[in-house]
Structure 1
Amino acid sequence: MNATIPDLTGKIAVVTGATGGMGQFIAADLVRAGAHMVTVARDPARADALRARIGSPAASRLDVIAGDLSRRADIVAAAKTIVDRYDQIHILINNAGAHFSEHRVSADGIEMHIALDYLAAYGLTTLLDVPLRRGHARVVNVASDTLNDTRQIKLAGKPRPATLDLSGIGDLADLNPAAGFAPFEAYARAKLMTVTAGYALARDLAADGVTINALHPGIVATDIIDDLVPPLLRPVGTLIRRGMLTPAEGATSATRLATDPEIAALTGRYFNRDKESTTPPVSHDLTTQQRLLILSKAHFAC
């Protein structure tokens, strides 16, 4: 058990992306602190590995729901299963994410960064609305500080924040098109969308004691890093990874934001590890926030 996590006996925690990378450490720490853990996994074999990491008898408090979080139907089905099984949810950590080096679209025709890095978090947060409100839940969206600077090599010049222009956008399928596709910028835009929607949802849920905050956990040596390292630096990739946080170290920032009693009342914030930080002005633009919510709601109404 992570000594910094309070006793979570009787609490229900939902964590996505819990079968690999940083997510398995988040899940294991919460379960060992007493929480009953729910996760959505595309690959049952990886869920077995998570159970082994947690160890018995704590692994008996792990509930694995089959599903691919890049697919709208699977998100809806997983949320329904969770709502049917659990009256309250106390913690939701939207940790699932990936970087795609080539343009790909989901089964629903949505660019994959938007589908997995944004819509999975938005979908679960909104579809689990009732149990989240009942549990006065703490929601943590794992983002990336690439939203503040999309340059892969930051040796000179000013930061180049991710952009989000929704004017003229009638469907989320219009975002991150194949023409002019830049993988790193597409990834950063999806993370910016998660933070932007989170600010709006935080205001809506605050009346019922639900908090929503976003987190950049630091530069963590996970599989995503292999894709994010620029080609020129890949020959020294092993050395670069040695200077990064381990997945276990990255997990501590997420579990702290989800459980620390001293920050329980904070909502609508963005943290770079344990320090509150800022996000691009567009993320605070009310018109952009509302347009994004309208487009996202329409996606799940299809």
Structure 2
Amino acid sequence: MVTGATGGMGRAISTDFARRGATVVLVARTQAGGEDARAVIVAATGNPRVQVLTADLSDQASIRHLAEQFREHHDQLHVLVNNAGAHFRDRALSVDGVEMHLAVNHLSWFLLTRLLLDPLEAGAPARIVNIGSQSMADTRQVKIRRRPRPATLDLADLNSERNFQPMTVYATAKLEMIMCSYVLARRLLGTGVTVNTAHPGITATNIVDAISAPALKPFLGIVKRFLLTPEQGAQAAIHLATAPELETTTGRYFIKQTLARSPEVSYNTALQEQLWAASSDLVGLPRWPDPAEDAR
């Protein structure tokens, strides 16, 4: 399953999987968009086992319906690529009352993945691949020469009610993604399901269009010539999903295909667990305590 599969990296990832002979489930916002992507992928690969499911990933009820649809037709899931992401210039709330960067870039993957854990465990060895962003290292969006401003996370303002700056909130959501990825990797130890996150490199996707200042819009075509193509950016996720040597690797962060370190704050296990609990509450799921805590 690949979210955000109708274009850009998502379609490139899906095409690669289909070319390998896999059954691929495309998650699309609309049926029409999904069917268009399916037609392109089937034509390129000759693999008709490409399916379309729809969901609004800012809407938790829609995500729950997506998981139900998948489970109705599939008992196992071997790879889940949480690729979907979005950037918004203005502060807006989802139908659940959640700030949209938080809803789409963090809570959507968090909810969907947890709802699909049964088929993932049934399909083990299975892999969860999250598409992160190195922007998470710059959550303050303040440049002070020779004064590093390390990434921070304010649990008291997860919904960005006090402070909203689009790139800051986007970066924070990506930080939240990797912190909960680390927690999930711990929770799934011994199940045969791995969880890893990759920054694909700066890729010419719709997010680049969204974050660009209006004055730069006329020059985007030129700028994109210097960025990775979606097919090049897709290689990070494809590597994490398919490389035999990574079958047991879990709880790691990669920049492209190279093992890397995420911001120091992301390794704070106490903060990770607090964020996990808060995220669980926001999507209406049990907090799922750490088994190590239960054993004490």
TM-score (norm 1): 0.87
Q: How far apart in 2 are the matches of 1:99 and 1:162? A: 19
Aligned pair in 2 of structure 1 residues 161, 84: CA closer, same or farther (>3 Å)? farther
Aligned to 1:54: 41
Residue 87 (structure 2) pairs with residue 99 (structure 1): yes
Aligned to 1:70: 58
Q: How far apart in 2 are the matches of 1:131 and 1:249? A: 30
Residue 276 (structure 2) pairs with residue 289 (structure 1): no
How much does 1:201 deviate? 0.3
Residue 249 (structure 2) pairs with residue 266 (structure 1): yes
Contact 2:138-2:168 at 8 Å conserved across structures = no
Contact 1:271-1:277 at 8 Å conserved across structures = yes
**Secondary structure of the structure 1 residue equivalent to 2:68:** helix
Aligned to 2:31: 44
Q: How far apart in 2 are the matches of 1:275 and 1:244? A: 18
Aligned to 1:117: 105
Question: What do the CA deviations read for 1:48-70 (whole angstroms, capped 9, x no partner)?
Answer: 22112212474531121121111
Residue 17 (structure 2) pairs with residue 34 (structure 1): no
How much does 1:129 deviate? 1.0
**2:177 counterpart (187, 191, 194):** 194
Q: How does 1:146-295 map to 2 (within 5 A)?
A: 146-150=135-139, 157=146, 160-166=149-155, 169=156, 174-230=157-213, 233-234=216-217, 236-295=219-278
TM-score (norm 2): 0.89
Q: How far apart in 2 are the matches of 1:157 and 1:47? A: 47
**Secondary structure of the structure 2 residue equivalent to 1:208:** coil
Aligned pair in 2 of structure 1 residues 288, 196: CA closer, same or farther (>3 Å)? same
Aligned pair in 2 of structure 1 residues 177, 165: CA closer, same or farther (>3 Å)? closer
Aligned pair in 2 of structure 1 residues 134, 219: CA closer, same or farther (>3 Å)? same
**Secondary structure of the structure 2 residue equivalent to 1:295:** helix
**Secondary structure of the structure 1 residue equivalent to 2:189:** helix
Q: How far apart in 1 are the matches of 2:140 and 2:281? A: 32
Contact 1:164-1:189 at 8 Å conserved across structures = yes
Aligned length: 283
How much does 1:180 deviate? 3.2
- Give the fraction of aligned pairs with identical amino acids, expressed as a percent: 45
Aligned to 1:3: none
Q: How far apart in 2 are the matches of 1:107 and 1:59? A: 37
Q: How far apart in 2 are the matches of 1:205 and 1:190? A: 22
CA RMSD, Structure 1 to Structure 2 (Å) = 2.1
Contact 1:152-1:230 at 8 Å conserved across structures = no
Q: How far apart in 2 are the matches of 1:154 and 1:275? A: 26
How much does 1:135 deviate? 1.3
Aligned to 2:288: none
How much does 1:33 deviate? 0.7
How much does 1:263 deviate? 1.7
How much does 1:205 deviate? 0.8
How much does 1:258 deviate? 0.6
Aligned to 2:12: 25
**Secondary structure of the structure 1 residue equivalent to 2:52:** strand
